[in-house]
Structure 1
Amino acid sequence: MKGLKMYAMTDVGIRRKHNEDSVGITPSHGIAVLADGMGGHNAGEVASAMAVNIISEKIKEEILSIPAARIDEKTGFAGESILTRDAIRFANDSIYSTAQNRPECKGMGTTVLVAVFYADRITAAHVGDSRMYRQRNGNLTHVTEDHSVIHEQVRRGLVSASDARNSIIRNLVTRALGVAPGVDPDIVEDTVIPGDLYLMCSDGLTDVVPDEVIGQTLSRYDNDLKKAATALIRLANEAGGPDNTSVILIKKPQKSGLFSRLLGKG
């Protein structure tokens, strides 16, 4: 997507000794991938790095050859969404095989969140509790829904969102990459309009920083992705930094005033 701006940042946090998160962006192809190696499992950093590298390369290799407006007859999804789904499944098989064949990697896994921007559209696909938000006209909304035990309890009204951040089960995911022979990512398609700002993040941010504070921070640094990312990670660390924190910000800039006037909109 022409004119798309991307920025990625990851931080080890305050309490962890090493970083099991991985991030990758390919602005030229509209690709962003974020993965959070499963805490408490061996070689989580290996799993997250594999997810980011495999998925990014797989999509990059094929996305430019997809015919415009191709729709899959069985699913109703765009061709870019099918490519993204298949890339995630391919990465899952690779990580699972590595975990089975390398003793030092046994039990490893990772969440993954993938965004692919094309024309005026976005495909977001995820497995686990790494999350995507969209800020449009100052309003922050969720693009994805966590695959976690605590999110299911919040959805059912059993606990509040504020209580969920302090729950001892908040990190229990119901779906992850690399822990089973197959996986089904959730896929969301959406229209992107000028001015939209998308945030992809690991739960190192969302476990300790409320949505309203995330939204206020994005509004404050709306036109400076580096400052916005730095501020979000600083907030997570000021809240104790209990986990690795990763963010990717993607912005579709507003049309300039001159360009709008030339279109008769100024």
Structure 2
Amino acid sequence: MKYAFSACTDQGRVRSNNEDAVSIDHQAQVVVLADGMGGYNAGEVASHMATELIRTEMARWLAETRQPPPGPQMRQALESCVEHANQAIFHAAQSNTQYSGMGTTVVASVLWDDKLMLAHVGDSRCYRLRAGRLVQITRDHSWLQEQIDAGLITPEQAAQSGQRNLVTRALGVEEDVQVESNEFSVEAQDLYLLCSDGLSEMVNDSDLSSILSTDATLEEKTQRLVDTANAHGGRDNISVVLIYADGPVPARKRSLVSRLLGTA
């Protein structure tokens, strides 16, 4: 499967700085998006630590394996990278009073063949648009989602709540973190959206689907998503990554790749 990527991060219209971060390794097909939190620039530090550490460590591991490993090994490797980033952020916060209390959400993805592995902590999300249908394929680690799961409130009530930004998991808050990971099968023409809550809280699913379903280029769709969030108030930093599954790699090219990997 061939994949195309487009990313954008924006300060929004209210915040004085951007505490979101995005990092992509196009060759390894590793994408990481994070939404930092904390006083001063601590949230910015946490999100950049998360994205860079997870991307570089995962890309290095993939390079050392030389060929795509089975799904369970990929899952374990990605979870380990997220856990290592959590420990690094936690210890940085403990050793520097300026960074005390910093943390970050994260959603990280690895693509190989026709598979997608996702790992996430917090309320940064991943959506999939397939055959015109948009589905959120991550589950928020938030107080509101827990209330929905317990049947105490409806999704409609949650959308109107003033507690939408209360996450129940984040990197750097404690020395250990519970990472949620899932593997998905990818189909040609799938479009995946990774985003911070600066997008998902400003733009409803119907509008997200409408923008993603247009004939615009991947870069144009990315910018339209950010512009729409800003048009609706831009109350938070906005980060977006789009991943498009362009179709199977041609047999001749696949053969060359196989030879380079030593698998032919």
Q: Report the AA paired with residue 119 of structure 1.
A: D
Q: The residue matched to 1:220 in structure 2 has which SS?
A: coil
2:223 aligned to 230, 239, 243, which one?
230
> Partner of 1:123 in structure 2?
117
Q: C-alpha deviations, 1:133-152, integer Å up to 9, x for none?
A: 11111111111000000112
User: Is the 2:86–2:177 Cα contact (8 Å) retained in structure 1?
Assistant: yes
The 2-side partners of 1:166 and 1:43 are apart by 29
Shift of 1:120: 1.1
Write out aligned runs for 1:55-134 (5 A). Answer: 55-66=54-65, 70-71=69-70, 78-134=72-128
> Partner of 1:74 in structure 2?
none
> Partner of 2:232 in structure 1?
239
The 1-side partners of 2:140 and 2:105 are apart by 10
Shift of 1:249: 0.4
* Off by >4 Å, runs of 4+ in structure 1: 39-42, 67-71
Q: Percent identity?
A: 40
> Partner of 2:155 in structure 1?
161
> Partner of 2:5 in structure 1?
6
1:179 aligned to 161, 173, 178, which one?
173
Q: The residue matched to 2:243 in structure 1 has which SS?
A: strand
The 1-side partners of 2:37 and 2:153 are apart by 24
TM-score scaled by length of structure 2: 0.89
1:53 pairs with 2:47: no
Q: Report the AA paired with residue 30 of structure 1.
A: Q
Q: C-alpha deviations, 1:112-164, integer Å up to 9, x for none?
A: 00000011111000000000011111111111000000112233343333432
Q: The residue matched to 2:168 in structure 1 has which SS?
A: coil
Q: Report the AA paired with residue 164 of structure 1.
A: A
Write out aligned runs for 1:196-235 (5 A). Answer: 196-221=190-215, 224-235=217-228
1:135 aligned to 92, 111, 129, which one?
129
The 1-side partners of 2:159 and 2:202 are apart by 6
The 2-side partners of 1:16 and 1:237 are apart by 12
Shift of 1:184: 1.7
The 2-side partners of 1:205 and 1:32 are apart by 17
Q: The residue matched to 1:28 in structure 2 has which SS?
A: coil
TM-score scaled by length of structure 1: 0.89
- Cα RMSD for the two superposed structures: 2.0
The 2-side partners of 1:252 and 1:231 are apart by 20
The 2-side partners of 1:170 and 1:152 are apart by 12
> Partner of 1:251 in structure 2?
244
The 1-side partners of 2:95 and 2:38 are apart by 21
In structure 1, runs of 5+ residues without a counterpart are: 72-76, 261-266
Q: Report the AA paired with residue 96 of structure 2.
A: R
The 2-side partners of 1:23 and 1:199 are apart by 13
